Homo-oligomer: A and B are copies of this chain.
Amino acid sequence: MNSTNNTPISEELNSPDTSANVRKSSLCKANSTCNKSATDVTLKQLFEQRTSDERAHNIAQKMLDNCSFSAHLGIELVDARAHYSVCKMKVESKHTNGHDTCHGGAIFSLADTTFAHLCNANNQVVVGHMCTIAYWQPALIGDELYAYAYESGVYGRSGSYRVEVTRGKNGDILAEFQGFSRALKGKMHF
């Protein structure tokens, strides 16, 4: 029995920090090693993380270099780590749909590319097989869109990822993307 179930919130007012009982979403784990203070982390842990982050970065860059569709849309790599990946795209007239707003397909493509980098970060061939996207606000010409991809979980050969698309770096969320992936057999040889 969980005590918070029965304790009125008001009785907890003496405690300045009730967050001790709040579980973090699985999406909050990005670079969890780094979240520890430097003294908690051994050099070995740091080195291993850097190695997997470096590999993820190299893979993302290679994937982007080979992806003519992303080049066509002007998608650029911002950051790529083992469990976290970021791309950006500036909305130009070529992305618009006639209402001077960015076509939903262009926003989806930015999110999908970032998702692809992240789910392939382990150097295994992984493909997206199912995605959802929700649009919250329109993107306009001149907006610089950032897509932040988070690993939610990997379960056997399946993976689950979330991408948030914002207007400007760390700006308002314009769209939320969810991607489900499946690992095929074979390495990417990056």
Most buried by B among A16, A94, A137: A16
Interface pairs A-B: 10 shortest CB-CB:
A105-B109, A66-B98, A19-B34, A16-B38, A69-B103, A28-B28, A25-B27, A136-B155, A19-B31, A9-B54
Docked complex: A44-62 residues within 8 A CB-CB of B: 46, 50, 53-54, 57
- Give chain B residues whose Cβ lies under 8 Å from the Cβ of A134: 129-130, 160, 180
User: What is the copy number of this chain in the assembly?
Assistant: 4
* Alpha-carbon distance between A153 and B21 when the two chains are bound, in angstroms: 22
Tell me, rounded to whole Å, the shortest Cβ–Cβ distance linking A180 to chain B: 6
Tell me, rounded to whole Å, the shortest Cβ–Cβ distance linking A3 to chain B: 10
B148 with A25: CB separation less than 8 A: yes
Of B2, B110, B112, the contact of A78 (CB 8 Å cutoff): B2
Of B17, B28, B81, B113, the contact of A34 (CB 8 Å cutoff): B17
* Alpha-carbon distance between A160 and B178 when the two chains are bound, in angstroms: 12
A23 with B131: CB separation less than 8 A: no
Of B22, B57, B97, the contact of A69 (CB 8 Å cutoff): B97
Docked complex: A122-137 residues within 8 A CB-CB of B: 127-137
